[in-house]
Amino acid sequence: MHPSRISLSSAFLLALLAATPLAHAASTCPANNVLTTPTADFTDNTDGTVTHLKTGLMWKQCAEGLSGAGCATGGSTFMTWSAALSAAATPFAGYSDWRLPNQKELRSIVETGCYNPNINETAFPATPSAGFWSSTAYASLPAFAWVVFFSSGDSSASSKADSHYVRLVRGGQSFDSFDAQKTNQTITFANPGAQVLGSSPTLSATASSNLTPVTFTSSTTGVCTITSGGTLTLVTTGTCTISADQAGDGSYNAAPQVMQSFAITAPVVATTAIPTLSEWGMILLAGMLGLFGMGVMRRRSRVE
């Protein structure tokens, strides 16, 4: 067979498999397991949504691509992270504020008492036993985001270019309050040592996150002031205390403040040393010897 025909056949087969709904097997819930998301924790809103009473979050019962009673219509849809974010823009059940859940929100519906899939199938029927996107970016690798696997209940980072399933959420507590995936950072700010009044030094500091800027403030403005960029103005002698801060961002928590104190000293004024008494005596003697020598030379010149 011609290689191009093999490639076309393979591509057609892959496309057919991607378009085919994932075969679903009922989850297994051993009788002696304690359920972490019992059906009593959910209110069925009879519009394709359920409300999780523990969090106040409203969830779509069906994964994206599925619909109808028991989520029996259609096929679960694989999509990239950016496509998953965009999918939330489509109104559903009279609401237009759907969004991709963050990692902690998504983990709140993992049923650890069941497996394959790890979810309450009364609340969320026909859920694929696979990974679902969260909105939470992976802090140290911005091109990755967290995926929650309902095949095991575990989480893992995945490239945003990869494709996973999607379940949307709305309302409840602010999703920011759930998201604790930010990384801590620290500031390196060395003590600059004593500074001389009249100079204009520029202080510097760095954050372990490499975020900028690290900003500065003075708590002793009567002695020294400083711009946020680190230019120090010395007002008078005394102790100058400067604090360094880095506010963080969507991936990093604010850094603990670092404070340094150092002395501001007066400039040293150059003075002329006054000769001691013995030094004055030597100067006088040298002068007298010089005069005596000049006198001798004059007398010799007259004789000649």
Q: Beta strand pairing status for 155-159 and 73-74? A: unpaired
In a domain, 73, yes or no: yes
Per-residue pLDDT of the chain (304 residues; tens, 9 = 90+): 333 333 334 333 333 434 344 445 567 898 888 999 999 999 999 999 999 999 999 999 999 999 999 999 999 999 999 999 999 999 999 999 999 999 999 999 999 999 999 999 999 999 999 999 999 999 888 899 999 999 999 999 999 999 999 999 998 654 444 444 567 889 999 999 999 999 989 999 999 988 888 999 999 999 999 987 889 999 999 999 999 999 887 677 889 999 999 999 999 877 667 777 777 778 777 777 777 777 667 666 666 6
Do residues 63 and 168 both lie within one domain? yes
- The vertex-267 CA angle with 262 and 269, nearest 5°, equals 155
Do residues 98 and 200 both lie within one domain? no
Helix (H) or strand (E) holding 290: helix 277-303
In a domain, 227, yes or no: yes
109, 117 in Cβ contact below 8 A? no
**CA dist., res. 217 & res. 229, Å (int):** 10
Q: Structural domain tally of the chain?
A: 2
- Chain mean position to CA 296: 92
Backbone angles phi, psi at 120, to 5 degrees: -75, 110
In a domain, 278, yes or no: no
Do residues 96 and 193 both lie within one domain? no
- Token pair 């008494």 is found at 277
In a domain, 80, yes or no: yes
Of 145, 177, 209, at which residue does a domain stop? 177
**CA dist., res. 136 & res. 169, Å (int):** 14
Query: What's the pTM value of the predicted model, to 2 decimals?
Result: 0.53
Backbone angles phi, psi at 188, to 5 degrees: -105, 115
**CA dist., res. 144 & res. 166, Å (int):** 16
Residue numbers of the domain that contains 25: 18-177
67, 48 in Cβ contact below 8 A? yes
**CA dist., res. 118 & res. 132, Å (int):** 12
In a domain, 1, yes or no: no
In a domain, 212, yes or no: yes
State the CATH number of the domain containing residue 248. 2.60.40.1080
C-alpha count within 13 angstroms, C-beta hemisphere, residue 89:
5
In a domain, 253, yes or no: yes
Do residues 49 and 135 both lie within one domain? yes
